[in-house]
Amino acid sequence: MIVIKYLWYYSFWIIVRIGLRLYYSKIKITGLENIPKNTPIIFGSNHENAFIDALLITTSNTRFDHYLVRAGVFNNPIAKAFFNSLNLMPVYRAQDGVNPLEANKQIFKACFEALAKKYAVMLFPEGEHNMRRHRRVLKKGISRIALGAVNFEGGAPEVSVVPVGVNYSDHVGFRSTVHVVFGEPIVVKKQEENAENYNKLTAQFTEALSKVHVSLDRKEYVGLDAIFFHDQKAHELINPDRINEAARKLSGKTGDIREFAEQKKELEERGMSFPFRPIASGEKLVMLLLAPLALIGLLVNLPVLLPVYLFVKTRVKEAEFVASLKFGFSLLGFCIWWWYLVSWSYDFTSQWPVAVLCIGISFFSLVALNGFIRKWKRFQLTRLLSTDHVLKEKYLTFVEKVNEVRNGLFPNS
């Protein structure tokens, strides 16, 4: 039975890994050397992007992971069976209408048993998720699991708690970039399970986690986000060390930061949308060249794109779930659609190279469609600036001030 479970888990792991490498233009992974070998591990991550956070982390390493996810996703019996097969376990919160300490006892025991077998457990200790890149207050669940595991009868003498940061250039964008950072492990050895040790470990992990993801000041987030992520060069700024160090240099400059927040808000009220960078003449030419390929991409991939678009548009209420559901349904949809294209092409031509070429055309025309849409949005906003001189003046003033601050923060860039 365990062999079948391993085969199913890693077969799914391979499919998702390939899918993610197609969905993102670049997945940068650093700190793999920080993952201990042959020892129980707890991965604790920031949580900005629903299920896709977990998928990125688990396909970035080869450990046999177990996951704690919110209990609400187990309400559907089919979903429950599927999630259980992939080592997902429900974790209960107060808003689930239960006493979380009592409801989670069996789940915590399952975590202890998995760790005793030197498996890995992944959880999101922030207790909330949204797409804002700021530090959050951690729940004590990760400390309870770590200390419970080392005190569990038959458990390991020590557990390594590894902070993981997932840093997105664009939380929902197809072919965007992401940087997964594994931080230095915190080794937890046997000690008394009491409030003092829980608090101490939680504080230690909070500090460690804040170093591996972009963790801007929560109170000044809007202004800091305007400074660092207002344009479309965000992929250059997803190094947490770089951004966090720069943000610390702005500590105490509350008035200046809030001025940027107010300027960005005023621009948005006048029709601007961020992130944004004016489109250059050469990029307009590229957009025109992409147009026919984009049309092919739309027509060829419409059987998958249309239902996914309608589902996300009409059924998804929380922005944090957009990327996860787009990726999940697209992965399933394109697996089926591309299999159909291969079968149809081979039946028609009896040539496997032609069948494979159909998939290549489908994917690369899809990338062209995405590139065209991105440039078209920039083209529309650039045209808006050219027709609204007041808006243009305000925007140029905003950018000039932002660049002045960023040049001081990143003098060598």
Residue 89: per-residue pLDDT: 87
Residues 357, 347 contacting (CB under 8 angstroms): no
Is 126 part of any domain? yes
Is 80 part of any domain? yes
For 139, the domain range is 2-210
Give me the phi and psi of 74, to 5 degrees please.
-95, 5
Same domain, 289 and 403: no
Same domain, 133 and 93: yes
Same domain, 56 and 158: yes
- CA 363 to CA 365: how far, in whole Å? 5
Residue 411: per-residue pLDDT: 78
C-alpha 155, offset from chain centre: 32
Residue 99: per-residue pLDDT: 65
- CA 242 to CA 171: how far, in whole Å? 19
Domain total in the chain: 3
Is 48 part of any domain? yes
Same domain, 25 and 148: yes
* Dihedral, 75, 63, 36, 23 alpha carbons, nearest 10: -90
Residue 65: per-residue pLDDT: 87
Residue 96: per-residue pLDDT: 65
DSSP state of 185: P
Residue 234: per-residue pLDDT: 65
Residues 138, 206 contacting (CB under 8 angstroms): yes
Same domain, 106 and 196: yes
Is 216 part of any domain? no
Q: Which has the closest alpha carbon to 381: 295, 310, 283, 260?
A: 283
Residue 392: per-residue pLDDT: 96
Is 368 part of any domain? yes
Same domain, 242 and 257: yes
Residue 138 sits in a domain of what CATH number? 3.40.1130.10
Please give the radius of gyration of the chain, using alpha carbons only, rounded to the nearest integer. 24
Same domain, 83 and 205: yes
DSSP secondary structure, 377-413, as one string = HHHHHHHHHHH-HHHHHHHHHHHHHHHHHHHHH-TT-
Same domain, 292 and 336: yes
Same domain, 172 and 145: yes
Cβ neighbour number for residue 54 with a 10 Å cutoff: 24
Residue 36: per-residue pLDDT: 94
**What are the residues whose beta carbons fall under 8 Å from the beta carbon of 203, sequence distance 6 or more?**
none
Is 276 part of any domain? no
Helix axes 51-58, 322-349, angle to 10 degrees: 60
Same domain, 115 and 130: yes
10-residue averages of pLDDT along the chain (413 residues):
85 96 96 94 95 95 87 79 86 68 82 94 88 91 94 92 96 94 97 95 96 95 94 77 94 94 96 94 96 97 96 91 94 95 90 91 96 96 96 96 92 71
Same domain, 186 and 227: no
- CA 385 to CA 355: how far, in whole Å? 46
Is 229 part of any domain? yes
Same domain, 172 and 229: no
